[in-house]
């Protein structure tokens, strides 16, 4: 028998099958989905591969499979093949997403083993020895009593709880009263969480209606997509909890996707309070490989029924899945920006169709494409929540024109109105969130004499000044350099720092409100494990006055004492090179506004902007999604943007600019011929990308507008194969359908 094996590599040339003989002693153990180790090419070391097919004979002289590793199911291999075709990547790249973390040949995780301590003699014998004074030491008696009540404890735990030394424990082991046994323990990221149990809440009429519609799909065991479109604070999470309770009672499992790690801690706490720790597994990138490995194993063994995590949790090895829920479905992070460039919402639908289960999307500001499908087609069933679950009122939103502030002589980062409201909040001991979607101190550095701008040596982008480290940093490649005091072009010392970031805002707040307590949450402050959770808990539990942050503070958080939200620069997302700029602006402003006044205290939001008449800002002020949608969908229809077509971006990257340009032009000429019969496609000429160099690699792109059909997909996949077959050195070519970033 011959196995068709795909080698686990990112090399596009090797995205094909290779024949290997299945030795007689392995024939009963190898099937489609088996991970194997093989001799590949002239390499001495074994290479990892996956069996994707089995046949009787091969026309080639073939090597034997050397040994077996982990097994995947045949349906997972078919799933990986579908993903590879859909997202223009290697099958091996997709298979890796479904593997147990820490099981690759180059990154093997060992089980965590502890020495657990148990009583070796019967308790009657031990008590007798104490009675006849054979065991005189009070410390030894104390240890034996503790182990009797806590068998399986470790020596450090015994030391800590009995206040005795390791030497005393060792004496008891030596004398035959205790013994140590090696024991495997799971690395569980939520073991130490102690949260009071909560009961389910009574749903209001709108919530109950939404629940009933989805419950029907669960009971009838059929695939259906639902959108819970509810204003901020309308109780979407309570519906999720009760739907999951329904599924778990049927002895099935649930996946709960959240967009960012910053949301995960609060969501986990809500779920633990309802279901307890044993039922829940957590998967996200901030866990160690060991923790992800052990959580994956718990899911595989059906020990955890509820999986909470970021987009990659969709690949968890669940045996009997009953529902998939995707919170804040509009969020960009559900679309991967690196290989494989998959969309977690599309993947969820593929899985749900295979298993005939419902998919539930939730958002106060749905993706325009999702809302279009929910209102203009039959693809998604819409369920509306128009009232806040706890009867609190939506916050009052005011817009401040920053142009007028400048005319009136205010050059501060805070408008006079926002300053007054922060001052009032501090006096009343209420909390404030200030949102600025730029980290760092200053966003660019320029010479006022000659106009020179300090740029990254590796990327064609401005360096950002970080005040706390007193360094310049590139936010694309991580390059750092000392601050510039003299212009390298003209020698002038007239170097000025322009733009504002969260560091500068924090400094400004401390200067203007010296008695206030502040905390900052951005990419620079959440590098350590659990730092998201620590910052959010500190803000909530220690009643910190002001939380300053980027979009991490925008989504899903519930802080009862927050009554004021200030948006420092609403225009930052309006000025990006993307057809979704107005949509992103509306979503961010509405979501951040939703953090204010979520309990009994009234909330207020102040939006500072240079474009007070922009329709996305005006509709966000009124929190009127439908009005925003009507305007946006009309514009997209006129300009032929999604959902009325797909935008397909073909990117070319390499170290030689001329080579990249030539390949882009050659590919464009080939595409014109290949797509000449596809009349609904518009092919735009190759151009340098808006940021034309990142990490010393030049970047060009071709944009195709039209519907991504099976024929178009086939043409582009064949073209990619041809490009990589020609073996152009050090060149990357990728295809991304409806990417998050057009940069």
pLDDT, tens only, 583-613: 999 998 888 887 777 667 888 999 999 889 9
Evaluate if residue 192 carries a pLDDT over 70. no
Q: In the prediction, which pLDDT does 633 show?
A: 96
Q: In the prediction, which pLDDT does 592 show?
A: 84
Neighbours of 588 (CB within 10 A): 22
Q: Tokens at residue 485, please?
A: 């005091």
Residue carrying structure tokens 């819970």: 228
The alpha carbon of 123 is separated from its chain's Cα centroid by a whole number of angstroms, namely 52
Q: In the prediction, which pLDDT does 69 show?
A: 81
Task: Determine the Cα–Cα distance for residues 556 and 723; give it in Å rounded to an integer.
Answer: 44
Residue 343 CB partners (closer than 8 Å, separation 6+): 334, 335, 336, 738
Evaluate if residue 655 carries a pLDDT over 80. yes
Task: Determine the Cα–Cα distance for residues 251 and 173; give it in Å rounded to an integer.
Answer: 44
Q: Tokens at residue 176, please?
A: 């035959």
659-689 exposure pattern, b = at least 16 Cβ within 10 A, e = fewer: bbbebbeebbeebeebbeebeebebeebebb
The mean per-residue pLDDT over the stretch 359-377 comes to 95
Q: Please, what sign has the CA dihedral across residues 434, 440, 444, 448?
A: positive
Identify the top-confidence range among 27-41, 174-188, 490-504, 625-639.
625-639
pLDDT category at 237 given cuts 50, 70, 90 is: very high
Q: Tokens at residue 464, please?
A: 């950002």
Task: Determine the Cα–Cα distance for residues 364 and 331; give it in Å rounded to an integer.
Answer: 11
pLDDT category at 577 given cuts 50, 70, 90 is: confident
Task: Determine the Cα–Cα distance for residues 294 and 65; give it in Å rounded to an integer.
Answer: 29
Q: Tokens at residue 530, please?
A: 């659990």
The mean per-residue pLDDT over the stretch 231-247 comes to 92
Q: In the prediction, which pLDDT does 628 show?
A: 95
Task: Determine the Cα–Cα distance for residues 605 and 396; give it in Å rounded to an integer.
Answer: 6
- Residue 137: C-alpha distances to residues 104, 168, 411, 501 (Å): 51, 9, 75, 64
Identify the top-confidence range among 570-579, 618-627, 675-684.
618-627
- Residue 397: C-alpha distances to residues 105, 589, 600, 618, 680 (Å): 55, 10, 17, 10, 43
Residue carrying structure tokens 């196995």: 3
- Residue 250: C-alpha distances to residues 236, 279, 300, 672 (Å): 22, 14, 18, 54
Residue 613 CB partners (closer than 8 Å, separation 6+): none
Percent above pLDDT 90 for the chain: 49
Neighbours of 621 (CB within 10 A): 18
In 174-279, beta strands by DSSP E:
178-185, 224-230, 253-257
pLDDT category at 680 given cuts 50, 70, 90 is: confident
Write down all domains in the chain, each with its CATH number in brackets: 2-99 (3.40.1440.60), 112-185 (no CATH), 205-385 (3.40.50.300), 396-441+500-635 (3.40.50.300), 646-737 (3.30.70.600)
Evaluate if residue 173 carries a pLDDT over 80. yes
SS3 state at 708: coil
- CA–CA–CA angle 215, 216, 219 (5° rounding): 85
State pTM to two decimals.
0.84
Q: Between 328 and 446, whose confidence is greater?
A: 328
Residue carrying structure tokens 């006129």: 638
Percent above pLDDT 70 for the chain: 96
Task: Determine the Cα–Cα distance for residues 393 and 389; give it in Å rounded to an integer.
Answer: 10
Strand partners, 320: none
Task: Determine the Cα–Cα distance for residues 696 and 661; give it in Å rounded to an integer.
Answer: 15
Cβ proximity of 97 and 314 under 8 Å: no
For 12-64, give the DSSP string. Answer: GGG-SEEEEE--GGGTTT--TTEEEEE--TT-SS-EEEEEEEEES--SS--PB
pLDDT category at 229 given cuts 50, 70, 90 is: very high
Q: Tokens at residue 611, please?
A: 């474009």
**pLDDT averaged over every residue in the chain:** 88
pLDDT category at 191 given cuts 50, 70, 90 is: low
């Amino acid at each position: 028998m011959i196995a068709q094996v795909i080698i686990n590599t990112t090399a596009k040339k090797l995205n094909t099958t290779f024949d290997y003989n299945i030795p007689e002693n392995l024939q009963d153990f190898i099937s489609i989905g088996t991970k194997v180790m093989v001799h590949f090419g002239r390499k001495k070391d074994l290479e990892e591969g996956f069996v994707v097919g089995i046949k009787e004979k091969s026309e080639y002289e073939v090597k034997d499979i050397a040994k077996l590793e982990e097994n995947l199911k045949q349906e997972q291999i078919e799933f990986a093949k579908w993903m590879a075709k859909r997202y223009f990547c290697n099958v091996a790249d997709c298979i890796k997403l479904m593997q147990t973390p820490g099981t690759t040949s180059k990154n093997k995780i060992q089980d965590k083993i502890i020495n657990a301590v148990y009583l070796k003699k019967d308790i009657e014998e031990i008590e007798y020895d104490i009675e006849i004074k054979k065991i005189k030491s009070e410390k030894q008696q104390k240890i034996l009593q503790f182990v009797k009540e806590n068998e399986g404890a470790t020596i450090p735990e015994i030391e800590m709880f009995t206040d005795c030394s390791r030497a005393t424990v060792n004496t008891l082991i030596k004398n035959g009263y205790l013994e140590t046994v090696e024991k495997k323990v799971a690395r569980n990221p939520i073991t130490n969480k102690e949260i009071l149990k909560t009961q389910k809440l009574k749903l209001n009429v709108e919530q109950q209606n939404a629940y009933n519609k989805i419950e029907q799909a669960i009971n009838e065991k059929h695939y259906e997509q639902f959108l819970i479109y509810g204003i901020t604070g309308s109780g979407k999470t309570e519906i999720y909890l009760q739907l999951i309770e329904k599924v778990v009672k049927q002895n099935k499992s649930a996946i709960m996707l959240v967009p960012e790690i910053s949301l995960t801690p609060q969501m986990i706490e809500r779920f633990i309070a309802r279901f307890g720790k044993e039922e829940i597994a957590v998967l996200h990138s901030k866990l160690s490989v060991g923790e992800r490995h052990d959580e994956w194993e718990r899911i595989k063994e059906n020990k955890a029924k509820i999986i909470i995590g970021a987009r990659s949790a969709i690949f968890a090895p669940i045996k009997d899945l009953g529902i998939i829920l995707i919170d804040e479905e509009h969020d960009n992070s559900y679309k991967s920006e690196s290989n494989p460039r998959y969309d977690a919402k599309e993947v969820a639908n593929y899985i749900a169709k295979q298993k005939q289960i419902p998919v539930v999307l939730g958002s106060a500001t749905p993706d325009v494409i999702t809302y279009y499908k929910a209102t203009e087609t039959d693809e998604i069933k819409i369920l509306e929540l128009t009232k806040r679950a706890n009867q609190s009122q939506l916050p009052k939103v005011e817009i401040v024109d920053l142009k007028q502030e400048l005319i009136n002589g205010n050059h501060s980062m805070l408008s006079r109105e926002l300053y007054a409201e922060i001052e009032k909040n501090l006096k009343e001991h209420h909390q404030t969130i200030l949102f600025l979607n730029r980290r760092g101190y200053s966003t660019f550095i320029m010479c006022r004499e000659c106009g020179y701008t300090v740029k990254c040596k590796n990327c064609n982008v401005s360096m950002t000044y970080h005040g706390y480290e007193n360094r310049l940093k590139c936010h694309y490649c991580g390059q750092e350099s000392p601050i510039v005091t003299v212009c390298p072009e003209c020698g002038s010392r007239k170097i000025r720092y322009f733009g504002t970031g969260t560091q500068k805002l924090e400094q400004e707040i401390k200067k203007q409100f010296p008695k206030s307590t502040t905390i900052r949450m951005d990419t620079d402050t959440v590098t350590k494990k659990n730092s998201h959770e620590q910052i959010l808990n500190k803000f909530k539990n220690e009643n910190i006055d002001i939380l300053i942050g980027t979009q991490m503070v925008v989504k899903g958080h519930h802080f009862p004492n927050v009554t004021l939200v200030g948006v420092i620069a609403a225009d930052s997302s309006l000025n990006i090179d993307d057809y979704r700029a107005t949509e992103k602006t509306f979503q961010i402003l509405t979501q951040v506004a939703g953090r204010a006044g979520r309990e009994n205290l009234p909330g207020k939001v102040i939006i500072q902007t240079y474009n007070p008449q922009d329709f996305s800002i005006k509709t966000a002020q009124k929190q009127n999604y439908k009005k925003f949608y009507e305007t946006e969908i009309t514009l997209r229809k006129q300009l032929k943007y999604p959902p009325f077509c797909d935008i397909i971006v073909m990117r070319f990257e390499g170290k030689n600019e001329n080579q990249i340009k030539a390949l882009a032009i050659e590919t464009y000429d080939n595409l014109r011929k290949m797509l000449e019969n596809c009349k609904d496609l518009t092919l735009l000429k190759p151009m340098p990308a808006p940021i034309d160099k990142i990490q010393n690699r030049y970047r060009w792109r071709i944009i195709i507008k039209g519907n991504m059909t099976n024929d178009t997909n086939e043409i582009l996949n064949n073209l990619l194969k041809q490009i990589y077959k020609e073996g152009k050195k050090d060149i990357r070519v990728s295809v991304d359908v409806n990417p998050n970033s057009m940069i």
